[in-house]
């Protein structure tokens, strides 16, 4: 009598059901995976656009406060403004209240020039050489836009306090000692983030070289 061993060559019903369940679970997870991937891409693009906006702010910090500061040695000077707080106005000695006059004349002093109005100046020739030249600047990357608006804001405050507070939403015309740049980041014209940069009319301090 001969015994023949037959190898198993088919699935049982239980095995087939388990395989179908595994395949079903795998397919059910695909939409979540695709959603997570799309969300990650969107997050990366958002972050990239925000980084571009911060880079713009960093560049804006390197240019002059006003077009008049680009003339001769006026980059060292405090400009005259028409609607600034009286405490910040230049005095008869050519200095602002509270600014110590250094013996070597290296401190910031007042210029004879008036601060200019907001916007690109006639002699800029396409150059962004002061911060309010960026008013109306636009940059687009895919569905993302960066828009910049520049304005003067009120510099009124109690300057005798140790803490000084400004209201950035109080626009002022035509000139004060504070300029506000609002950098809006939008996707398909829907704002997703806003950066604000305030710069003051404070002049600069020159380096004094002592003659030997």
Which whole number is the average pLDDT over 61-86? 85
Q: Contact at 8 Å (CB) between 113 and 98?
A: no
Query: Which pLDDT score, from 0 to 100, does residue 99 have?
Result: 58
Per residue in 27-40, pLDDT (tens digit) is 666 666 555 555 55
* Ramachandran bin of 21, using left for φ above 0, alpha for ψ from -120 to 50, beta for the remaining angles: alpha
Read out DSSP for 158-203?
A: -TTSSS----TT-EESS--SEEEEEEEEEETTEEEEEEEEEEE---
Q: Which residue has the higher pLDDT, 137 or 50?
A: 137
If residue 147 lies in a helix (H) or strand (E), which one and from where to where?
A: strand 144-153
| % of the chain with per-residue pLDDT over 90 | 17
Give the CB-side neighbour count of residue 30, counting CA atoms within 13 A.
Answer: 6
Question: Over the stretch 122-145, which tens digit does the pLDDT of each residue have?
Answer: 777 778 889 999 999 998 877 889
CA distance 164 to 15: 75
Mean pLDDT of 78-87: 87
How many CA within 13 A on the CB side of residue 185? 20
Q: Which residue would you say has higher pLDDT here, 179 or 203?
A: 179
**Across 2-16, 68-82, 121-135, least confident range:** 2-16
On average, the pLDDT of the chain sits at 76
Element containing residue 40 per DSSP (H, E) = helix 13-60
Quickly count: other Cβ atoms within 10 Å of residue 157's Cβ.
Answer: 16
What is the tens place of the pLDDT at every residue in 95-132?
776 555 554 454 567 878 889 989 888 777 778 889 99
Report pLDDT for 131.
92
Cα distance from N-terminal residue to C-terminal residue, the chain: 123
pLDDT at site 210: 47
Is residue 86 scored above 90 in pLDDT?
A: no
pLDDT tens digit string along 146-172? Answer: 999 999 998 888 888 878 887 777 676
Is the distance from CB of 131 to CB of 60 less than 8 angstroms? yes
Q: Quick one: pLDDT at residue 29?
A: 61
Task: Retrieve residue 141's tokens.
Answer: 């990357």
Residue 104: predicted pLDDT: 45
User: What size, in residues, is the chain?
Assistant: 212
Per-residue pLDDT for 209 more than 50?
no
pLDDT of 152 reads 93
3-state secondary structure of 114: strand
């Amino acid at each position: 009598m001969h015994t023949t061993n037959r190898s198993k060559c088919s699935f049982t019903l239980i095995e087939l059901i388990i395989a179908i369940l595994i395949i079903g679970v795998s397919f059910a997870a695909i939409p979540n995976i695709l959603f997570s991937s799309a969300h990650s891409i969107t997050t990366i693009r958002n972050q990239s656009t925000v980084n571009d906006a911060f880079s713009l702010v960093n560049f804006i910090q390197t240019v002059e406060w006003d077009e008049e500061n680009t003339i001769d040695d006026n980059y060292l000077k405090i400009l005259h403004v028409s609607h600034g707080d009286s405490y910040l106005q230049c005095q008869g000695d050519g200095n602002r209240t509270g600014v110590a006059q250094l013996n070597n004349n290296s401190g910031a002093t007042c210029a004879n020039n008036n601060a200019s109005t907001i916007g690109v100046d006639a002699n800029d020739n396409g150059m962004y050489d002061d911060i309010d030249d960026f008013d109306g600047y636009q940059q687009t990357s895919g569905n993302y836009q960066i828009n910049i608006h520049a304005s003067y804001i009120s510099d009124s405050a109690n300057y005798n306090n140790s803490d000084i507070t400004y209201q950035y939403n109080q626009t002022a015309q035509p000139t004060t000692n504070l300029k506000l740049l609002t950098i809006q980041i939008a996707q398909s014209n829907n704002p997703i983030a806003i950066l604000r940069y305030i710069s003051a009319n404070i002049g600069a301090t020159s380096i004094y070289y002592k003659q030997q």
